[in-house]
């Protein structure tokens, strides 16, 4: 880069002090950008949330169709594209959690407890874990989407199930292992459908983790982690939800030689490893899968547009979709996070 600067020395000297490069603001690939803009507008009109990563992927796809070989689809191109076409990243309004007044003292006490337990029992890194319940809905519209500048209300299409909840119980160990998830459904009996292998299922009328669910999780997930069969001493970090701390639950942990460390109330965002590092990308990936489902090509078939010509898919036209699709309206505010590249990669 230094060599490139030396070659452009005279041109750089003529630049205004407010400019950092030779970008003219004129699109290098106008036909490509018009098609990408049409893609963005069609998706926002249909109520489908868009990330900049999705825009870049579509732009690369279009560049191949147009046989543009020097287009790389970088984040900086996406930023300039959005600026040229007056598109902004919109973020859904949210309220931050208030920290307790004595939070510093509570954090120090919690860390002292962890250090004391580790010195006393000499836990292996793989035997230190964290478990957390993640509430989800069957509809997960994104908090961010690309929309025209100035719009205050954005419509996002859903399947009408944004208020139907379920809970996913995630767990990790300090050496990087991710334990199998437990899914809690809002019902009284176990579902009859075949459950994919590696997933535990529990039911509760209010989609909560209860004593029975904790017993199921401890025996079928926590006690199946690497090293558990050897009854090695272990440490599990939990929040203060009441089902984690009942006497039956404590006896289950004692039987498998597990000490528990309870996170003080109001400090989950600071001391819960899953909440700090894993839950957000997990939810983002769930949202990405939901977006793929909402964009699925079968939606075209319900309108009789892309059905097989031999008549095998004609029944899709007559499916009653009145209860399957609806729209929700969110108030959004402008976001300066123009470099948002969409949903983070994860092994989940």
- List pLDDT tens digits, range 176-226: 999 999 999 999 999 888 888 999 999 999 999 999 999 999 999 999 999
The 8-class DSSP code of residue 302 comes to T
pLDDT tens digits, residue range 280-335?
899 888 888 887 777 765 555 556 655 667 777 666 555 544 444 455 554 545 55
Predicted local confidence at residue 162, as pLDDT: 72
107-111, 156-160, 207-211, 288-292: least confident range: 156-160
Task: Please state, as a whole number, how many other Cβ atoms lie within 10 Å of the Cβ of residue 291.
Answer: 22
What token pair was written down for 259?
A: 């000490």
Predicted local confidence at residue 30, as pLDDT: 92
Q: What is the CA radius of gyration of the chain?
A: 26
pLDDT tens digits, residue range 319-333?
544 444 455 554 545
Confidence of residue 152 (pLDDT cuts 50, 70, 90): low
Predicted local confidence at residue 320, as pLDDT: 47
Q: Decide: pTM greater than 0.85.
A: no
What is the three-class DSSP state of 116? helix
What are the angstrom distances between the C-alpha of 240 and each of 34, 62, 128, 251? 53, 51, 18, 17
Q: Count Cβ atoms within 10 A of the Cβ of residue 287 and give its class: 0-12 exposed, 13-18 middle, 19 or more buried.
A: buried
Predicted local confidence at residue 46, as pLDDT: 73
């Amino acid at each position: 880069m230094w060599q490139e600067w030396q070659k452009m020395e005279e041109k750089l000297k003529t630049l205004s002090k407010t400019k950092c490069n030779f970008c003219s603001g004129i699109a290098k690939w106008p036909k490509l950008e018009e098609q990408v803009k049409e893609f963005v507008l069609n998706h926002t009109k249909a109520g489908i949330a868009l990330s900049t990563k999705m825009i870049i992927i579509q732009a690369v796809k279009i560049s191949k169709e147009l046989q543009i070989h020097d287009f790389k689809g970088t984040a900086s191109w996406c930023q300039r594209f959005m600026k040229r076409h007056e598109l902004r990243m919109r973020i859904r309004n949210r309220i931050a959690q208030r920290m307790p007044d004595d939070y510093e003292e509570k954090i120090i006490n919690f860390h002292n407890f962890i250090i004391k337990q580790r010195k006393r029992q000499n836990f292996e890194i793989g035997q230190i874990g964290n478990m957390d319940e993640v509430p989800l809905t069957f509809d997960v519209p994104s908090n961010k989407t690309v929309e025209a500048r100035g719009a205050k209300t954005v419509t996002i299409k859903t399947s009408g199930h944004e208020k139907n909840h379920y809970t996913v119980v995630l767990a990790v160990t300090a050496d990087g292992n991710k334990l199998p998830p437990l899914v809690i459904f809002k019902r009284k009996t176990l579902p009859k459908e075949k459950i994919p292998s590696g997933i535990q299922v529990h039911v509760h009328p209010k989609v909560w983790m209860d004593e029975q669910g904790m017993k199921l999780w401890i025996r079928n997930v926590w006690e199946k982690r690497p090293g558990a069969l050897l009854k090695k001493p272990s440490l599990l970090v939990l929040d203060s939800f009441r089902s984690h701390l009942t006497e039956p639950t404590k006896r289950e942990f004692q039987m498998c030689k597990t000490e528990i460390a309870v996170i003080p109330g109001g400090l989950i965002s600071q001391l819960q490893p899953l909440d700090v590092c894993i839950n957000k990308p997990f939810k983002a990936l769930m949202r990405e899968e939901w977006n793929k489902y909402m964009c699925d090509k079968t939606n075209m078939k319900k309108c009789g547009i892309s059905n097989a010509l031999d008549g095998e898919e004609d029944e899709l036209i007559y499916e009653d979709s009145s209860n399957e699709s609806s729209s929700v309206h969110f108030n959004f505010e402008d976001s300066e996070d123009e470099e948002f590249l969409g949903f983070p990669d994860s092994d989940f």
